[in-house]
Homo-oligomer: A and B are copies of this chain.
Amino acid sequence: MNTTLSHARQNFIQGMSRISHFWGFPRAMGAIFGAIYLSPEALSLDELVEQAAVSKGAISTNVRQLERLGMVHKHIRIGDRKDYYTAETDFWKIIKGILREREKNEFNAALRTVDESLALSQSENSTPEEAELAAFYKTRLEAMQRFFHNLDNLVATVMALDELRQTTIQRLFSNTSDQ
């Protein structure tokens, strides 16, 4: 391959690796996605080993995670034992997948923690001073609860809007045509 094109690819893969790390995902995950995204053909695990410069073990682990997030798709070919991967090119779908898989769990855990703390703080109030503090906790914790619910609704709304995309959301937030 042309060294300039290969350089462009390496630069891109490195950038994806960096973004991935920034968002709290493994570096290799971004590198793998970058390699798949810039390939006209579906890539096998072994091809990924050389293109993304990551060990086989790491590819195996991370490509599965990428699939769970809906960022890549696995293809099997009859009479061929290798798995081949292509990239999801609809980024809104990707965002949706990430939010669903990743946030939902931790997000609900956060909500539960606030609920718990609130319940705990309201259980008893022996002295007036304690009752006052408990009341303060109540206002603060409830405010946070409301925020989390609002945020949840916002995310749900954006995700729902995505259902009608191509007609709505991309026209709303862009002035160029998408895809």
A140-B38, A144-B91, A174-B153 known; A5+B113 contact, CB < 8 A: no
Number of copies: 2
Main secondary structure of the interface of A (DSSP, over half): helix
A interface residues with partner B (beta carbon < 8 Å): 1-2, 4-5, 7-9, 11-12, 14-15, 18-19, 22-24, 37-38, 40, 89, 91-92, 106, 109-110, 113-114, 116-118, 120-121, 123-127, 130, 133-134, 136-137, 140-141, 143-144, 146-147, 149-151, 153-154, 157-158, 170, 172-174, 176, 178-179
Q: A4-B121, A18-B110 are in contact. List 11 more A-B contacts (CB 8 A).
A: A2-B130, A5-B137, A8-B137, A9-B121, A11-B116, A15-B113, A19-B113, A22-B24, A89-B140, A143-B178, A146-B176
